[in-house]
Amino acid sequence: MCERGGGTLHVFPSRQRPDATPSPTLSHEGGERGAPGVAPVAAFGRGNAGRRGRGGGRGAARAAKKNDTRAAGDCPALRNRRPSIQGVTVSLAAFRVLIYPSPMTRILPAVRGTLTPGRPLADLTWLRVGGPADWLFQPADEADLAAFLARLDPAVPVFPMGVGSNLIVRDGGIRGVVVRLGRGFNGIAVEGNRVTAGAAALDAHVARKAAEAGVDLTYLRTIPGAVGGAVRMNAGCYGSYTADHLVTARVVLRDGTVRSLGPREMGFAYRSSLLPEGAVIVEATFEGPKGDPAALEAKMAEQLARRDATQPVKDRTAGSTFRNPGGFSSTGRADDVHDLKAWKLIDDAGLRGFRRGGAVMSEKHPNFLTNIGGATAAELEELGEEVRKRVFESSGLTLEWEIMRVGEKAPVAGAQA
Ligand SMILES: Cc1cc2nc3c(=O)[nH]c(=O)nc-3n(C[C@H](O)[C@H](O)[C@H](O)COP(=O)(O)OP(=O)(O)OC[C@H]3O[C@@H](n4cnc5c(N)ncnc54)[C@H](O)[C@@H]3O)c2cc1C
């Protein structure tokens, strides 16, 4: 252990690995990427990937909290002599196990927030599926996030997530650092007809606060995500899009620099933006027309009722699974001809209620992929792919995923390494 400036280096002992595989060899010679015989794809380790079967998320989460939650430190003296673990292949009776360099031994910069290794992500997503993040980082504030990213090895992937309402995290989990903003990023302030909100503020809260102050951001009321996800996805409904309201987004780039990006720089398009890889939105300012608070409240109540009547909002879903085919969005603009919706193509292909295990295309709204219980990420994704194939066969049109699928598939038991 090396201590300096409050930073503490923890090389986590193998007893913290929840599996029963032999202890890897620790070496201070060469980089962690240089372990002989280890494929580059494995260089950041496989975490707890694939160890969790169905329903194992909570137990794994408890184990992660109990044993592994701690701040990792940055030890300058060792920066050029990072520990590495030799790759070892062990043959067991029924399958082969590859021991990769563990993410738990990687040196990460010291933080004031929380860094949790091997954190299962299923309980952080609406669909309740997915494997662990190598590391989950919950920064204390913007300065903490910026300092961490500036000092983090640029080769380590960074994935920002919101409240997981548009995600399928695959069963093998996410390699690298997942950044999830919480307290410290959820303030909401209204000034005139502008509303500034932290990226972790829920869209619904922003809409309500804005309405109370007589600002119409009602389009956010029924979108179940947080502000960062709304900006990144250009979320919208009932004729309004984030692109129509965003004044500026404050962003911490992957190298730790902070920028303010306007709508033009965000490169908004239908359900997408051109946010640079690994960049984390920390705050956004929106502008909305002035309105009477009571009328805005009534508008939101009407939209909620409309949703309730047409969408499975109480089920485990991630919203619309596929985009409406190109040029057929729901903006109410000239390109919106309203006669070609993804749900209609799915319905016409006879796939309303179509299922695979616990994964079902909703009876209520066939463009909503639902987890009715016990579905894996693989089942959800495979069902979606089967729907795409059959819709193409029946209509000649290719559906594009709107739900983001991230991370790695779980290794197949018995597969050759
Ligand atoms: C019932 C239901 C109804 C829905 N209805 C709608 C709808 O009407 N309109 C609509 O547009 N969407 C809808 N959605 C989809 C979803 O709510 C939106 O896409 C939402 O904006 C996602 O926000 P999130 O915080 O959950 O992001 P996540 O799902 O966690 O992430 C989505 C994407 O945003 C990125 N991201 C999240 N936070 C940040 C950040 N701070 N910085 C950088 N990138 C970030 C992630 O990397 C990822 O690429 C619905 C979903 C559900 C479950």
- 102, 240, 320, 362: the catalytic one is 320
How many CB atoms are closer than 10 A to CB 326? 12
- Specify the pLDDT at position 118: 97
Could you read off the pLDDT of 315-341 as tens digits, one per residue?
Answer: 999 999 999 886 555 444 545 444 689
Indicate the top mutation candidate among 220, 221, 223 to test ligand 1's pocket, ranked by most ligand atoms within 8 A of CB: 223
In the CATH hierarchy, which top-level class contains the domain 3-180? alpha beta
For β-strands 84-85 and 26-27, DSSP reports them as antiparallel
How many CB atoms are closer than 10 A to CB 87? 18
402 is catalytic: yes
Quick one: which of 185, 106, 98 has its CA closest to 145?
A: 185
- Specify the pLDDT at position 333: 53
Q: Which fold has domain 188-294?
A: 3.30.465
362 is catalytic: no
User: What does the DSSP assignment read for 180-248?
Assistant: E--TTS--EEEETTEEEEETTSBHHHHHHHHHHTTB--GGGTT--SBHHHHHHHT-EETTEEHHHHEEE
- Supply the mean pLDDT for the chain: 78
For β-strands 246-252 and 240-241, DSSP reports them as unpaired
- Specify the pLDDT at position 140: 98
- In angstroms, what is the span from residue 406 Cα to ligand 1's centroid? 13
- Specify the pLDDT at position 64: 40
For residue 260, the surrounding DSSP H or E stretch is strand 258-261
Q: Is the CB of 367 under 6 A from ligand 1?
A: no
Enumerate the domain spans of the chain: 3-180, 188-294, 311-397
pLDDT mean by block of 10 residues, the chain; 417 residues: 27 28 24 25 33 38 40 35 33 34 65 97 98 98 98 97 98 98 96 98 98 98 98 94 97 98 94 95 98 98 96 95 73 53 95 96 97 97 98 95 97 67
pTM: 0.78
Interatomic CA distance for residues 91 and 88, integer angstroms: 10
DSSP conformational letter for 323: P
Q: Is the CB of 225 under 6 A from ligand 1?
A: yes
Q: Is the CB of 230 under 6 A from ligand 1?
A: yes
Quick one: which of 208, 257, 253, 198 has its CA closest to 228?
A: 198
The helix-helix angle for 293-310 and 203-212 (nearest 10°) equals: 150
Pick the CATH number of 311-397 from 1.20.58.110, 1.20.120.530, 3.90.78.10, 3.30.460.10: 3.90.78.10
How far from the centroid of its chain's Cα atoms is residue 52's Cα?
A: 19
- Specify the pLDDT at position 335: 52
